[in-house]
Amino acid sequence: MKIYEKAPAKINLMLDVLHKRPDGYHEVEMIMTMVDLADRLEMEELPRDTIIISSQAGYIPLDEKNLAFQAARLIKDRYNVRSGVYIHLDKKIPVAAGLAGGSSDAAATLRGLNRLWNLGISPEELQLLGAELGSDVPFCVTGGTALATGRGEKLTPIANPPQCWVILAKLPINVSTADVYGRFRVQQIQQHPSAAAMQGAIESGSFAAVCNQLGNVLEDVTLQLYPEVAQLRETMMRLGADGVLMSGSGPTVFGLVSKESKVARIYNGLRGFCKEVYAVRMLT
């Protein structure tokens, strides 16, 4: 039997860092949602006690460094599953981009193997397993739109933002999340974005209000390291996106656009500047 799972990318509509914790992680407040740009996973049971990963993408690890491998190993160990699994990853989400591609693959693996092996694990338990793999994995398990606190693993589902187009642009730079958090200094932040204000904007259903509340304190770090990302951000604004922000630790910059008539112009304008551009819908 084969099981298929879709692993969508996330964007952070707001991201604030409160402080660095004694365990080295940062306490955050984020509002995250999913967009319709997704990896596709195919999972098939193997009689032997082994985990095999393949992918059409030549640039991700296929061994135990792969987050899908780690998710399969975790679920096998925790639930004493003797059989193995073959997982094929059809990668569409850019890697190390601030879009949680690896985390979403891990979450899709947890969901898929729960079905493949009839384990009956609840979504809450899958989220707890996900937290052992990475801070963004619990959100990717259930998706939707959520306020994430703690190191990102404590989730409160909230309303979906008003439907719109999301234009994503990624320059050929790989950003390390650990490096960006490592360089972040909370005392250098002059204006913190507000989770409450973003939640209010979303609940009001006003697209303009959502655009006004976009904010990400990690932008300062990544934009300073890579001035070309700042340029890309400005270009997206100039081309007429209604709201622009860097997602997560970057370097992907996204623009929210309400009018379909503007999408092609912005998309084509960016393509002159950046090879990887996607125009997708929010997954609401």
Ligand X SMILES: C[C@@](CO)(OP(=O)(O)O)[C@H](O)COP(=O)(O)OP(=O)(O)OC[C@H]1O[C@@H](n2ccc(N)nc2=O)[C@H](O)[C@@H]1O
Ligand Y SMILES: Nc1ncnc2c1ncn2[C@@H]1O[C@H](COP(=O)(O)OP(=O)(O)O)[C@@H](O)[C@H]1O
Sites of contact with ligand X (CB under 6 A) = 12, 15, 24-26, 28, 30, 98, 100, 103, 134-136, 151-152, 177-178, 181, 248-249
Interface segment toward ligand Y; rule CB under 6 A; list 20-28, 99-107, 120-128, 145-153:
99-107
Q: Which of 189, 190, 198, 171 is nearest to 256 (CA)?
A: 198
243 is in an annotated binding site: no
Considering the rule CB under 6 A, would residue 242 count as an interface residue with ligand Y?
no
Considering the rule CB under 6 A, would residue 137 count as an interface residue with ligand Y?
no
Interacting partner of 105 out of ligand X, ligand Y, none (Cβ under 5 to 8 A depending on kind): ligand Y
Q: Is the peptide bond before 172 cis (omega within 30 degrees of 0)?
A: no
Question: Mind telling me the catalytic residues?
Answer: 10, 136
Q: Which of 41, 96, 126, 158 binds ligand Y (CB under 6 A)?
A: 96
Interface segment toward ligand Y; rule CB under 6 A; list 66-74, 141-149, 182-190, 196-204:
66-74
147 is in an annotated binding site: no
101 is in an annotated binding site: yes
- Name the token pair of 101: 């591609």
CA–CA dist 32, 5 (Å, integer): 20
CA–CA dist 52, 89 (Å, integer): 11
Of 126 and 201, CB closest to ligand Y: 126
The position carrying tokens 């922000």 is: 245
Chain-centroid distance of CA 4 in Å reads 20
H/E element, 235: helix 227-238
- Name the token pair of 182: 């490592």
9 is in an annotated binding site: no
Annotated binding site: 94-104
